[in-house]
């Protein structure tokens, strides 16, 4: 039996190879993801380890409030440095200042801020400083900075250059030094700006006596834990001490949650889709091979092979293919990981990859997944093979036109119907419509896979009708060929369906989010101009800018929003601070109780749902706690309905400004006088904005468009996914066609004999391929769009906004891509079919 | 049986030689090279008379199929010439050969004559459909009526008996009014009753409409339907008889075998 398996595979190398390709691609992605993820984790860990190499224990405040994208920590008093330095075991106590500072490059554009932080900190001349100056000297006094070498390169800045740093107010500075980690490693996208300690305190913390933390270095022979134990007793309760390892772990957890997690999840999704598509491809190949081998199998059975032996034979074949393909995929994965990292590096988001070396864990996992996927895909065909009756050896093998057992049709219909019900009624059942809609979507997907063979005949007939009408007899033959084996057609199409469904889903989600945003802004925003920082992780807007804009003639109102890190009645609902009177002019909040314009100092405005959830009414008083340790009483001055754009709890900005020494605006909205010319006023506002480091000034349409661009970037990644799925599906289609053509050798010979030209043979194969591709794609697009519709409905029900807007352009483009893919997939099989020797094909024996 | 013999007698011996529908001159077909080379056709000269039913006979491996394939533009000669009507097949490329097969030649094979996905009707009109033409409707009806397929036209090959399938094949071969119909053991897979029917249709087509038919067979009874029989052995034409009967054919076969 074993030699037969090997012999079979050797005889059908091409087939085995094609089945394996899908696994190779899937495993390559899995491997690359794991390797890259591991390498990045290790690389970033190394980076943090080095960054903290001058710190054994850090002392900082325990008071932290999450606000916007950041965690805002309370500052600690500078006097602590001397106190801690005096404790036994402490060799050095280093003051640490940390905040946000975004440096502007030689071209006037701010550097970084599109995800990775833009760190402003203080330069300390100390032993064990992890950073070394490559050039220049440490900063001294206001107006001098040292920047990291990556930022210097990105901004084309050199020692001696003058530039601006946004903290967020624009400060004129001279670059006096360029530094980097001793190892020379960099974290892509993170920027560092070092000031001297006094300047950093002043600019970044707004308080000459405050520090973010104190870093301690231990005396020789004193361990980190030991040092912490030594100082802990003398720390006030609102301070904590963390060892170097804890600090590294904390940073790693944060980056895992933030970037690495997203990155690896995304790549894993790629690998997952690839492997899912691969499973369908392999399943299909095995199903065809088993069908074609029916007589051979029956002969074996007649000669005394047991069912188990037949089963084991197919299983062994799958095992060998899976193992070989997974091994190749593993190798390809290493290459892919290197390639992906090169791309990331080129994009400036490269991460130090501490060697993309293979680990046993990754190798074992990838091999196991590859083998398991292949085996799972081969199970059903193997079982079918084992059920071949010995008598089948004597029968002329007929065309298998069966596609649909009644059970399959019933089950498929039931599952699909249940799924659609889930999507339609998600908002009526239970409390979590999104989960129900997602489950419904999954059910529709499974249902469609089940129904595939049931509908394939009709679908191929319908899709083939125009082709038959236009392409004449070749089209008719293509259509009939696509219809003749519904299971095969649907199996082949499924692979493409999955890929296109994912794309349709995300593309339509993207356009729907854009449409929702558009509706939201139309509904809630009554102003004319919006000023916002370019990136979301850079410096915010200088509050002084809003004041300056208010002076521009023709400006009616300037409303600013900023994150206010505070607890209200003990809760952190991440309130936004604003000037209510101004806000009333630009935002349509749909106030139902109270009056925004008259809220005044100490006022708090909340959404209706927020009021309901917390049992609040107009005039109620709440206690606000701040990081500076003080509290204030807030009064509910307005209750509004429209809480989509500005959030559901707003606090008067006068309150917030009393408790922060580093105020910065998140966004500034401008309304102009009715009679004023938008163009003129905008030009004036632009000159003001330019003085503040050129954040982006947009009207509401431009603002929306910019938001849309971010969504489009995300979609770009999804199209990468499509490309991958299409490639695998292409291999699958090509493989099926090759097998079908092999099966139809005599038929093709006959057609050639009675007058079908070579190019007509090719055309027939090509159109069959297109029919299969269109079938899969239309299914996928319908599936993806339907799921999107269900999800958006569910979101609309929970979030109160959400407009379903399918991306018609994408749908059309994907369909076009699928048709081209169908043609491409048919190239080789069609060429083989056309090359068939007529005589070989028609010879009786 | 006798009636059919008389059909063949419509063209009595001694009648003036008919123009040739196809001519073979010095045909050599060699497979392989060197020691293992097989000469399937060894300098064959042959005229296929137009409007006649010619049978090609010979022992297995004597080159019958090879000769027919070369005549029909399915294979090319190693040396020599095949002229169909006024066209030298050797001078045609694949595309033109295909067109010749589609428009000027009809085929009936021993088995697997029909495209399984097409109905009987679609199979019959296949050559003209491939050419993008509509067949002559009257002629189509007439052929279909003659072969007796009236109610079977909408069926797929899988739903037809072997005899019916061969009748569809004969109808296909006739419907495009080809210059020559080639049949390679068309009754080889059939029971004798179905076989007889097929042979009768072919003989009738020759008799009634002057169709030229070349049929390869190893069955003397089948050859007896032909107007003349050509005997092949080792790739050479070794004998020929006109107006054969099963007995005369058997007799010659025996002699060749010796
Ligand atoms: N494709 C081929 N390659 C090699 N030899 C062949 C091929 N086709 C036929 N032959 C040889 O040519 C000879 C004639 O074959 P064929 O024309 O099929 O004979 P027949 O039809 O009379 O049985 C035989 O010896 C056969 O083995
Ligand atoms: Mg033969």
Pick the closest to residue A377 from A450, A297, A278, A309 (CA basis): A278
Dist CA A156 CA B82 (whole Å): 80
Q: Which residues of A touch B (CB under 8 A)?
A: 398-399, 472-474, 476-477, 480-481, 483-484, 746-747, 750-758, 760, 838-839, 842-844
* Segment 159-178 of chain B within 8 Å of chain A by CB: 172
Task: Please indicate whether, in this complex, the C-beta atoms of A842 and B113 are within 8 angstroms of each other.
Answer: no
Encode pLDDT of A19-36 as tens digits. Answer: 788 888 889 988 988 888
Encode pLDDT of A518-535 as tens digits. Answer: 887 777 788 889 898 877
Look-up of token digits 């309905």: A641
CB-CB neighbors (< 8 A) of B180 in chain A: none
Amino acid A303: pLDDT: 76
Look-up of token digits 């990136």: A535
Encode pLDDT of A68-97 as tens digits. Answer: 777 888 889 999 999 999 988 899 999 999
Of residues B72, B111, B118, nearest to A844 (C-beta): B111
| A141 Rama class: left (phi>0) / alpha (psi -120 to 50) / beta | left
Cα of B40 vs centre of ligand 1, distance in Å, is: 6
The pTM score is 0.79
Whether the CB of B92 is below 8 Å from some CB of chain A: the reply is: no
Using the CB atoms, write b or e for A477-487: b if 16+ within 10 Å.
bbbbbbbbbbb
Closest residue in A to B111 (Cα–Cα): A844
Cα of B218 vs centre of ligand 2, distance in Å, is: 9
Dist CA A268 CA A491 (whole Å): 24
Pick the closest to residue A657 from A601, A585, A599, A573 (CA basis): A601
The whole-angstrom distance between B158's CA and the closest CA on chain A is 8
Between these two residues, A294 and A120, which has the higher pLDDT value?
A120
Dist CA B63 CA B30 (whole Å): 11
Encode pLDDT of A233-285 as tens digits. Answer: 888 888 999 999 999 999 888 888 777 787 788 778 878 888 888 888 888 88
Query: Which residues are close to ligand 2, an ion, with C-beta < 5 A?
Result: B 65
In chain A, domain spans: 1-56+243-395, 57-242, 455-526+701-845, 543-691
Dist CA A75 CA A72 (whole Å): 9
ipTM of the complex in this document: 0.86
Read off the pLDDT band of A517 (50, 70, 90).
Answer: confident
Phi first, then psi: what are they for B205, rounded to 5°?
-60, -40
Quick check: A499 and A273 in contact, CB under 8 A? yes
| DSSP element (H, E) containing A672 | strand A667-672
**Alpha helices per DSSP H over A387-485:** 406-425, 433-484
Task: Please indicate whether, in this complex, the C-beta atoms of B101 and A755 are within 8 angstroms of each other.
Answer: yes
- Confidence check: pLDDT of A719 > 90: no
Amino acid B258: pLDDT: 55
Between these two residues, B53 and A746, which has the higher pLDDT value?
B53
Question: For chain B, what is the radius of gyration of the CA atoms?
Answer: 18
* Bond from prior residue into B11 cis (ω within 30 degrees of 0): no
Residue identifier of the C-alpha nearest atom 18 of ligand 1: B65
The per-residue DSSP string of A769-794 comes to: HHHHHHHHHHHHHHHHHHHHHHHHHH
- One CATH from 2.30.110.10, 1.10.3720.10, 3.10.310.30, 3.40.50.300 for B51-63+95-256: 3.40.50.300
Residue identifier of the C-alpha nearest atom 5 of ligand 1: B31
- Confidence check: pLDDT of A705 > 60: yes
The whole-angstrom distance between A483's CA and the closest CA on chain B is 9
Task: Please indicate whether, in this complex, the C-beta atoms of B130 and A754 are within 8 angstroms of each other.
Answer: yes
| DSSP element (H, E) containing A626 | strand A621-626
Q: Which residues contact A10 (CB under 8 A, 6 or more apart)?
A: none
Residues in chain B predicted with pLDDT less than 70, given as ranges, are: 1-18, 257-258
The whole-angstrom distance between B99's CA and the closest CA on chain A is 6
Task: Please indicate whether, in this complex, the C-beta atoms of B74 and A746 are within 8 angstroms of each other.
Answer: no
* Helix axes of A758-799 and A745-753: crossing angle, nearest 10 degrees: 130
The whole-angstrom distance between A424's CA and the closest CA on chain B is 41
Encode pLDDT of A651-684 as tens digits. Answer: 998 899 888 888 888 889 999 888 888 889 999 9
Between these two residues, B226 and A113, which has the higher pLDDT value?
B226
Pick the closest to residue A793 from A417, A429, A416, A413 (CA basis): A429
- Give me the total of CB pairs closer than 8 Å, taking one residue from chain A and one from chain B: 80
Ligand 1 site, CB within 6 A: B 31-32, 38, 40, 58, 60-66
CB-CB neighbors (< 8 A) of B75 in chain A: 839
Quick check: A80 and A214 in contact, CB under 8 A? yes
Residue A535, both tokens: 């990136």
Quick check: A191 and A150 in contact, CB under 8 A? yes
Look-up of token digits 């300037």: A558
Specify the 3-state DSSP secondary structure of A214. strand
Pick the closest to residue A179 from A123, A128, A217, A140 (CA basis): A123
Specify the 3-state DSSP secondary structure of B122. helix
Phi first, then psi: what are they for A61, rounded to 5°?
-75, 150
Look-up of token digits 């206001």: A142
Read off the pLDDT band of A402 (50, 70, 90).
Answer: low
Look-up of token digits 């119909």: B181
Dist CA A373 CA A431 (whole Å): 36
- Confidence check: pLDDT of A191 > 50: yes
Amino acid B235: pLDDT: 92
Task: Please indicate whether, in this complex, the C-beta atoms of B172 and A754 are within 8 angstroms of each other.
Answer: yes
- Confidence check: pLDDT of A344 > 80: no
Residue of B93, B104, B116 to mutate, interface with A, max A Cβ within 10 Å: B116
CB-CB neighbors (< 8 A) of A754 in chain B: 101-102, 107, 126-127, 130, 172
Whether the CB of B158 is below 8 Å from some CB of chain A: the reply is: yes
Look-up of token digits 């199970």: A379
CB-CB neighbors (< 8 A) of B116 in chain A: 399, 484, 747
Q: Which residues contact B173 (CB under 8 A, 6 or more apart)?
A: B106, B107, B108, B181, B183
Amino acid A796: pLDDT: 82
Amino acid B228: pLDDT: 94
Dist CA B169 CA A708 (whole Å): 64
DSSP-derived secondary structure letter, A259: I
CA angle B59/B258/B5 to nearest 5° reads 60
Other Cβ atoms closer than 10 A to A517: 19
Dist CA A390 CA A307 (whole Å): 10
Cα of B78 vs centre of ligand 1, distance in Å, is: 14
Dist CA A130 CA A459 (whole Å): 66
Percent of chain A residues past pLDDT 90, beyond the cut: 28
Q: What is the mean pLDDT of residues A337-352?
A: 73
Whether the CB of B103 is below 8 Å from some CB of chain A: the reply is: yes
CB-CB neighbors (< 8 A) of B130 in chain A: 473-474, 751, 754-757, 760
* Bond from prior residue into A168 cis (ω within 30 degrees of 0): yes
Dist CA B166 CA A34 (whole Å): 62
Quick check: A543 and A123 in contact, CB under 8 A? no
The atom number, within ligand 1, closest to the CA of B59 reads 22
Read off the pLDDT band of A351 (50, 70, 90).
Answer: low
Encode pLDDT of A161-171 as tens digits. Answer: 999 998 888 89
DSSP-derived secondary structure letter, B135: P
Closest residue in B to A476 (Cα–Cα): B118
Amino acid A717: pLDDT: 73
Dist CA A70 CA B86 (whole Å): 90
* Helix axes of A486-524 and A758-799: crossing angle, nearest 10 degrees: 40
Whether the CB of B35 is below 8 Å from some CB of chain A: the reply is: no
Whether the CB of B112 is below 8 Å from some CB of chain A: the reply is: yes
- Confidence check: pLDDT of A212 > 90: yes
The whole-angstrom distance between A290's CA and the closest CA on chain B is 21
Cα of B38 vs centre of ligand 1, distance in Å, is: 8
Most distant pair of Cα atoms in chain A: their distance: 102
Mean of all residue pLDDT scores within chain A: 86
Dist CA B94 CA B100 (whole Å): 10
CB-CB neighbors (< 8 A) of B186 in chain A: none
CB-CB neighbors (< 8 A) of B127 in chain A: 754-755
DSSP-derived secondary structure letter, A742: H
Task: Please indicate whether, in this complex, the C-beta atoms of A747 and B112 are within 8 angstroms of each other.
Answer: yes
Dist CA A741 CA B69 (whole Å): 23
Quick check: A533 and A540 in contact, CB under 8 A? yes
Look-up of token digits 């055309």: A763
The per-residue DSSP string of A46-96 comes to: HHHHHHTTT-SEEEEES-EEEETTEEEE--EETHHHHHHHTSTTEEEEEEE
Strand pairing class (A591-594; A631-640)? antiparallel
The per-residue DSSP string of A155-195 comes to: HT--TT-EEEEESSSEEEEEEEEEEEETT----TT-EEEEE
Other Cβ atoms closer than 10 A to A710: 14
């Amino acid at each position: 039996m074993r030699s037969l398996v090997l012999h079979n595979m050797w005889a059908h190398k091409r087939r085995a190879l094609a089945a394996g390709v899908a696994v190779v691609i899937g495993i390559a992605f899995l491997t690359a993801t794991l390797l890259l993820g591991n390498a990045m984790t290790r690389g970033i860990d190394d980076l943090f380890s080095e960054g903290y190499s001058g710190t054994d224990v850090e002392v900082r405040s325990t008071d932290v409030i999450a606000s916007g994208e950041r965690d805002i920590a309370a500052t600690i008093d500078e006097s602590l440095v001397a106190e801690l330095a005096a404790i036994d075991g402490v060799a050095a106590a280093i003051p640490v200042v940390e905040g946000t500072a975004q440096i502007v490059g030689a071209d006037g554009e701010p550097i970084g801020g599109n995800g990775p932080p833009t760190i402003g900190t203080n330069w300390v001349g100390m032993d064990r400083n992890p950073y070394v100056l490559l050039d220049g000297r440490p900063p001294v006094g206001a107006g001098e900075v040292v920047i990291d070498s990556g930022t210097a390169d990105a901004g084309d800045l050199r020692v001696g250059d003058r530039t601006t740093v946004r903290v967020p107010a624009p400060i004129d500075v001279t670059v006096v030094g360029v530094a980097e980690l001793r190892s020379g490693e960099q974290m892509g996208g993170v920027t560092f700006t070092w000031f001297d300690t006094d300047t950093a305190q002043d600019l970044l913390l707004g308080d000459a006596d405050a520090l973010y933390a104190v870093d301690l270095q231990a005396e020789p022979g004193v361990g980190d834990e030991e040092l912490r134990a030594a100082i802990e007793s003398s720390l006030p309760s609102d301070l904590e001490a963390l060892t170097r390892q804890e600090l590294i772990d904390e940073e790693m957890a944060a980056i895992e949650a933030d970037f690495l997690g997203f990155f690896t999840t995304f790549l894993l999704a790629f690998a997952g889709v690839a492997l899912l598509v691969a499973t369908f491809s392999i399943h299909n190949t095995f199903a065809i091979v088993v069908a074609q081998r029916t007589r051979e199998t029956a002969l074996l059975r007649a000669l005394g092979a047991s069912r188990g032996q037949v089963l084991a034979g197919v299983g062994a074949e799958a095992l060998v293919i899976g193992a070989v393909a997974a091994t190749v995929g593993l190798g390809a994965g290493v290459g892919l990981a290197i390639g992906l990292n090169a791309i990331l590096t080129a994009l400036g988001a490269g991460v130090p990859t501490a060697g993309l070396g293979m680990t046993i864990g990754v190798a074992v996992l990838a091999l196991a997944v590859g083998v398991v996927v292949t085996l799972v895909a081969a199970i059903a065909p193997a079982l079918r093979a084992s059920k071949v009756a010995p008598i089948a050896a004597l029968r002329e093998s007929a065309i298998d036109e069966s596609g649909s057992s009644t059970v399959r049709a019933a089950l498929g219909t039931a599952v699909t119907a249940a799924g659609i019900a889930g999507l339609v009624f998600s908002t009526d059942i239970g409390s979590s419509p999104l989960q129900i809609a997602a489950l419904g979507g999954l059910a529709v997907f499974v249902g469609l896979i089940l129904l595939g063979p049931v509908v394939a005949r009709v679908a191929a007939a319908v899709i083939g009708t125009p082709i038959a009408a236009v392409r004449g007899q070749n089209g008719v033959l293509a259509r009939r060929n696509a219809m003749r084996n519904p299971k095969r057609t649907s199996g082949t199409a499924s692979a493409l369906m999955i890929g296109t469904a994912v794309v349709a889903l995300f593309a339509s989600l993207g356009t729907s989010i854009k449409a929702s945003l558009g509706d939201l802004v139309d509904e809630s925003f009554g102003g004319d101009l919006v000023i916002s920082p370019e990136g979301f992780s850079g410096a915010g807007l200088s509050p002084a800018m809003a004041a300056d804009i208010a002076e521009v003639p023709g400006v009616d109102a300037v409303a600013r929003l900023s994150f206010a890190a505070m607890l209200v009645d003990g809760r952190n609902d991440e309130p936004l601070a604003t000037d209510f009177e101004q806000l009333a002019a630009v935002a349509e909040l749909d106030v139902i109780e109270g009056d925004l314009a008259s809220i005044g100092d100490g006022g708090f405005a909340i959404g209706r749902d927020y009021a309901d959830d917390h049992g609040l009414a107009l005039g109620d008083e709440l206690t606000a706690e701040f990081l500076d340790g003080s509290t204030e009483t807030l009064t509910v001055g307005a209750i509004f309905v429209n809480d989509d754009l500005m959030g559901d709890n707003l606090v008067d900005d006068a309150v917030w400004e009393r408790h922060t020494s580093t105020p910065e605006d998140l966004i500034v909205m401008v309304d102009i006088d009715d009679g004023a010319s938008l163009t003129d006023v905008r030009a004036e506002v632009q000159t003001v904005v330019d003085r503040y480091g050129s954040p982006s000034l947009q009207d509401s349409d431009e603002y929306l468009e910019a938001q849309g661009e971010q969504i489009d970037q995300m979609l770009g990644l999804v199209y990468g996914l499509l490309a991958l799925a299409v490639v695998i599906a292409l291999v699958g289609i090509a493989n099926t066609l090759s097998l079908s053509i092999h099966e139809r050798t005599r038929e093709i010979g006959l057609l050639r004999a009675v007058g079908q030209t070579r190019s007509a043979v090719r055309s027939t194969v090509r159109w069959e391929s297109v029919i299969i591709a269109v079938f899969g794609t239309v299914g996928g697009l319908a599936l993806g769009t339907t799921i999107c519709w269900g999800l958006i409905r569910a979101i609309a029900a929970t979030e109160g906004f959400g407009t379903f807007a399918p991306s018609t352009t994408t749908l059309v483009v994907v369909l076009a891509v699928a048709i081209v893919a169908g043609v491409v997939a048919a190239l080789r099989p069609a060429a083989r079919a056309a090359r068939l020797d007529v005589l070989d094909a028609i010879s009786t024996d | 049986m006798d009636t059919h013999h008389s059909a063949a007698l419509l063209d009595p011996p001694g009648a003036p030689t008919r123009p040739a529908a196809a001519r073979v001159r010095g045909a050599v077909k060699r497979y392989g090279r060197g020691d293992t080379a097989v000469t399937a056709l060894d300098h064959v000269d042959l005229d296929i008379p137009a409007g006649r039913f010619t049978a090609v006979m010979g022992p297995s491996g004597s080159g019958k199929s090879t000769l027919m394939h070369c005549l029909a533009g399915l294979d090319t000669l190693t040396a020599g010439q095949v002229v169909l009507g006024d066209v030298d097949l050797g001078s045609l490329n694949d595309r033109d050969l295909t067109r010749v097969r589609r428009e000027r030649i009809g085929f009936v094979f021993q088995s697997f004559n029909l495209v399984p996905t097409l109905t009987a009707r679609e199979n019959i009109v296949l050559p003209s459909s491939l050419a993008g033409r509509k067949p002559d409707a009257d002629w189509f009806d007439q052929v279909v009526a003659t072969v007796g397929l009236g109610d079977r036209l909408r069926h797929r090959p899988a739903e037809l008996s072997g005899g019916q399938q061969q009748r569809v094949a004969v109808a296909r071969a006739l419907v495009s009014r080809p210059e020559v119909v080639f049949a390679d053991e068309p009754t080889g897979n059939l029971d004798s009753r179905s076989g007889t029917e097929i042979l009768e249709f072919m003989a009738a087509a020759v008799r009634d409409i002057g169709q030229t038919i070349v049929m390869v067979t190893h069955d003397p009874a089948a050859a007896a339907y032909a107007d003349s029989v050509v005997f092949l052995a080792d790739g050479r034409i070794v004998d020929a008889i006109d107006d054969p009967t099963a007995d005369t054919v058997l007799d010659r076969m025996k002699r060749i075998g010796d």
